[in-house]
Amino acid sequence: METPRDTSAPPSDPQPSKGSQSAAPNLAGSSPQRGGSSLSDSGRTGRRGDAIFKFASSGSGVALLVIMAAIAAFLTVRAVSAISADHGNFLTTSDWQTQADPITFGIAAIALGTLISAVVAMVIAVPVALGIALFISHYAPRRIAQALGYVVDLLAAVPSIVFGLWGALFLVPHMIGVNAWLNQYFGWTYIFHQNEPGTQPRSLFTVGIVLAIMILPIITAVSREIFLQVPRAHEEAALALGATRWEMIRTAVIPFGRSGIISASMLGLGRALGETMAVATVLSPSYVINLHILDPAGSTIAQTIANQFGESQGTGRDALIAAGLVLFVITLLVNGAARLIIARRKEYSGADA
Amino acid sequence: MSSLATTSQLSSSLTERRLPRWMPAVNLALAVLLAVAIGAGFNLSSKPQWLLIAAILYVVIQYVTSAVVEGRRHAKNYVATSLVWVAFLLALLPLISVLWMTISKGIGVINANFLTHSMNGVAINQEGGGLYHALIGTLEQVAIASLLAAPIGILTAVYLVEYGRGNKLSKAVSFFVDVMTGVPSIVAGLFILSFWIIILNMPFTGFAGALALAILMLPVVVRSTEEMLKLVPNELREASLALGVPKWLTITRVVLPTALGGIVTGVMLAVARIVGETAPILMLVFGADTINMDPFNNPQSSLPLFVWTEYSRGTDQSQARAWGGALVLIAVVMILNLVARGIARWKAPKGATR
């Protein structure tokens, strides 16, 4: 893709000078008398137009960078003013008291909650998404595969509030049995232990399931693209050596797509970390550190912002902005890392097209 | 040793023993039967549990029969195949359930009254009311966001493809476009909150929400437009430049029209993405039950915000309205998607090599 466009660059630069030497006298001499066609007119204004247009388009690119910088800058300014008013340690306090007299708030509990829900989502979603991606790329008949790819893309567009509504009104009542079962047989693992069995499962575990369903389409879509890029020759070579289909996938497809799988998962992780409404509808928040993921406790950063926003003023809002800054930095790191992995892979695999 | 014995020996060593083709079906039936027996026997009430047991049993039975007849390698292959199928079916269940719930619960609420009335004066435990105010709000906010984001996004893509060509600025822009795609919507909302509302002291309006939506829309527009511009055959540019047409006219008269279908598709997909955003609207537009046509003054509502407020009111009637709003929202998003993909199919640049 790169090389042909690069060769087109030189002609565009010497073009004005060449035009003025040979072809231009004819054109410029005759056309203005006829009122000027749009082409020769533009030949006159071409340079100014070029300059303006180039300025506008590169200005847009710069504007985009400025927006990103401004997001970081403005969030930081407000966050600093909030943290200086904080009577607790911002990083280790788990409480969120912005109305009380000694204002104390910290991200310990909500950052942990964000992490837990995202981890639960990843544990469920990544294997399933890879399964679907493999199904579409290597198992399903071609026509069905195309239709499925299409359906996956459509599902990626379902708004998060709809998943939230479904999670709160359909999934939560249906999770009671599952929770009791997990508590009964896997309570000894600590994480599946319920302090009060039988409570409404508005827990980080349920949130994790909803998030898993929401990030399935994006992980599937990205890893499917990678799997479809596996060189045909590698696969056929594996099959010719007598490999079963699974051995072919394990020896040819997975190694080729490993970095793609990682970055797809990280894109999903970024989305799970920042999801707001699906968490806000499902979870009943509390600002305590609790590693029993079936208990209706804990909260996430995004959900805290959405829930507390309505009743917060002044420093309370700044405190939420500080939490938002933490979320911004986390998602920035996760997404940046994912993109770097994709970019590096492109360089050494040569699979540019 | 007779020749007959040799050939039979040869054939048995050259072709491995395989399971007959009907074996998986038989195993599946067996697994389902066993699962039903276990489910009924232990009186397990939840049907998903039966399904799960059947799936596990099927994988186990398949593995054992295959390992006995064909060897472990083929048995593993069967397990992998089954797991892939299970993953696929497992993922379909919740997704179908989401759509089914939304449609079945939402369809009962939607009627002409629901679409043409606001929630003004409707008590939370009263039936009726509608989302007209939310529709207006969504339309206006999304239109403003598109007007802001589409030109900047398209120009940025033009810069990346036509001018940048791998210099440092374009690499930085390209990287941050990718990173920007992952900015959570609530962070975009917080940014506008701190900049527009707290520092510039502006009121909560539809326009403030539109600013946040524009930020979310921008990277999607850039990325899709960039892809489309890359698909425009280079010969078109060269031919135009060789005729003495300046570069900016080449771009606006030749390159952009060629890619127009794809660009429109990209913008519409971006619109479809931001239509469903709730968090920034919740923070910046603040919500209203009355019809407010003016996006620059006073709070408005929007479809996702309507779903959220009706859900959090908590009564049966308001939750029914929430489902109705969700159905309208999904319908809007799906229509946008389908139209966008339709355009993409019609207007795909022809003869493009990729």
Is some CB atom of chain A closer than 8 A to the CB atom of B13? Answer: no
- Residues in B closer than 8 angstroms to A161, CB to CB, are 276, 278, 304, 307-308, 326, 329
The answer as to whether A81 is a domain residue is: no
Taking CA–CA distances from A326, the nearest residue in chain B reads B187
Q: Which of B98, B178, B234 is opposite residue A8, by nearest beta carbon?
A: B234
**Which residue on chain A is closest to B71 by alpha carbon?**
A244
- For residue B91, the chain A residues in CB contact (below 8 A) are 128-129, 131-132, 213, 216, 220
Report the sign of the C-alpha dihedral through residues A307, A310, A315, A321, in that order. positive
Closest chain A C-alpha to B154 CA, distance in angstroms: 8
- Taking chain B (354 residues) in runs of 10, the rounded mean pLDDT of each run is 47 64 83 84 72 83 85 86 84 86 91 88 83 92 95 94 86 89 91 90 91 94 90 91 91 90 88 90 87 89 92 89 93 89 72 44
Pair (A10, A151) in one structural domain: no
Q: Which of A12, A34, A60 is the last residue of a domain?
A: A60
Nearest CA distance, A227 vs chain B (angstrom):
14
Neighboring chain B residues of A150 at a CB cutoff of 8 Å = 341
Phi, psi of B292 (to 5 degrees): -130, 110
The verdict on A50 and A121 lying in the same domain is no
Report pLDDT for A46. 66
Do residues A224 and A287 share a domain?
Answer: yes
**In B, which residues are within 8 Å of A12 by CB distance?**
241, 247
d(CA B131, CA B320): 12
Q: To 10 degrees, the CA torsion angle through A19, A25, A28, A29?
A: -170
Taking an 8 Å cut-off on Cβ atoms, the answer to whether A166 and B153 are in contact is no
CA pair distance A301, A111, nearest whole angstrom: 6
Which among B84, B232, B319 is the top mutation candidate for probing chain A, defined by the most A β-carbons within 10 Å of its own β-carbon?
Answer: B84
How big is the CA angle at A342 (ends A341 and A346), to the nearest 5 degrees?
Answer: 115
Q: Do A37 and A130 share a domain, yes or no? A: no
Q: Which of A4, A58, A171 sits opposite B159 (nearest CB)?
A: A58
CA pair distance B309, B289, nearest whole angstrom: 10
Q: Is A138 in the same domain as A48?
A: no
Interface of A with B in 126-165 (CB under 8 A): 127-132, 134-135, 139, 150, 153-155, 157-165
Answer yes or no: do A302 and B153 touch at CB < 8 A: no
B219 to chain A: which residues are within 8 Å by CB?
64
Tell me the ipTM for this assembly: 0.84
Which amino acid makes up residue A242?
A: G
Q: Which residue of A has its CA nearest to B337?
A: A154
Query: Distance (Å) from the C-alpha of residue A288 to the closest C-alpha of chain B?
Result: 22
Which residues of chain A lie closer than 8 angstroms to B181, CB-CB?
A: 335
Where in A73-184 does DSSP place strands (E)?
A: 96-97, 104-105
Distance from CA of A195 to the nearest CA of B (A): 24
Does A66 fall in a domain?
no
Assigned domain for A236 exists: yes
Report if residue A89 sits inside a domain: no
DSSP summary character for residue B200: S
What's the domain count of chain A? 2
**pLDDT value, residue B90:** 79
Determine whether the interchain pair B215/A67 forms a contact, defined as Cβ–Cβ distance below 8 Å.
yes
Domain final position from A45, A60, A75: A60
CB–CB of A23 and B244 under 8 A? yes
Query: What are the residue ranges spanned by the domains of chain B?
Result: 3-107, 132-347
Whether A187 and A271 map to the same domain: the answer is: yes
Q: What is the pLDDT of residue A21?
A: 39
Alpha helices, H only, chain B: 3-14, 23-41, 47-69, 72-107, 112-116, 132-158, 168-181, 185-192, 206-231, 234-242, 247-249, 256-275, 279-284, 303-313, 316-347
* Rounded Cα–Cα distance for residues B149 and B174 (Å): 16
Instruction: Look up the CATH number of the domain holding residue A224.
Output: 1.10.3720.10
**From B94, B169, B182, residue closest to A213, measured CB to CB:** B94
A141 in the same domain as A219: yes
Nearest CA in chain A to B240: A12
- Which residues does chain B have within 8 Å of residue A70's beta carbon, measured at their own beta carbons? 191, 195
Contact call for A170 and B101, based on CB within 8 A: yes
Distance CA A333, CA A322 (A): 17
Residues in Cβ contact with A194 at an 8 Å cutoff, skipping those fewer than 6 apart? A179, A183, A187, A292, A294, A295
In this complex, do B95 and A154 lie within 8 Å of one another by their Cβ atoms?
no
CB–CB contacts below 8 A, A to B: 304
Instruction: Record the tokens describing residue A108, joined without a space.
Output: 């310990």
User: Chain A, 260-289: which have a CB under 8 Å from a chain B CB?
Assistant: 267, 270-271, 273-277, 280-281
Residue A285, φ and ψ in degrees, nearest 5: -80, 150
* B294–chain A Cβ distance below 8 A for any pair: no
User: Any chain B CB within 8 A of the CB of A9?
Assistant: yes
- Residue A320 in any domain: the answer is yes
Same-domain check for residues A35 and A115: no
One-letter amino acid of B235 = E
**Which chain B positions have a beta carbon within 8 Å of A62's beta carbon?**
169, 173
- Distance between CA atoms of residues A296 and A279, nearest Å: 12
Q: What is the pLDDT of residue A13?
A: 40
Instruction: Determine whether the interchain pair B307/A54 forms a contact, defined as Cβ–Cβ distance below 8 Å.
Output: no
CB contact under 8 A, B247 and A306: no
Q: Choose among B84, B95, B279: nearest Cβ to A135.
A: B84
Q: In B, residues 212-251, which contact A (CB 8 Å cutoff)?
A: 215, 218-219, 222, 230, 234, 237-238, 241-249, 251
Alpha-carbon gap, residue A345 to A347, rounded angstroms: 5
Q: Which CATH number fits domain B132-347: 3.30.230.80, 3.40.50.2030, 3.90.226.10, 1.10.3720.10?
A: 1.10.3720.10
Q: Residue A69 falls within a domain, yes or no?
A: no
Same domain, A236 and A302: yes
pLDDT (tens, 9 = 90+) of chain A, 353 residues, equals 333 444 333 444 443 433 333 333 344 333 344 444 444 454 556 678 888 898 999 999 999 999 999 999 999 998 998 888 888 888 888 888 887 778 888 888 899 999 999 999 999 999 999 999 999 998 888 888 888 888 888 778 889 999 999 999 999 988 888 888 888 888 888 888 888 777 888 889 999 999 999 999 889 988 888 898 889 999 999 999 989 899 999 999 998 888 888 888 988 998 899 899 889 999 888 888 888 888 888 889 999 998 888 888 888 888 999 999 999 999 989 888 888 887 776 655 544 43
Residues A23, A157, single domain; the answer is: no
- Host domain of residue A197: 96-349
Would you state the pLDDT for residue B354? Answer: 41
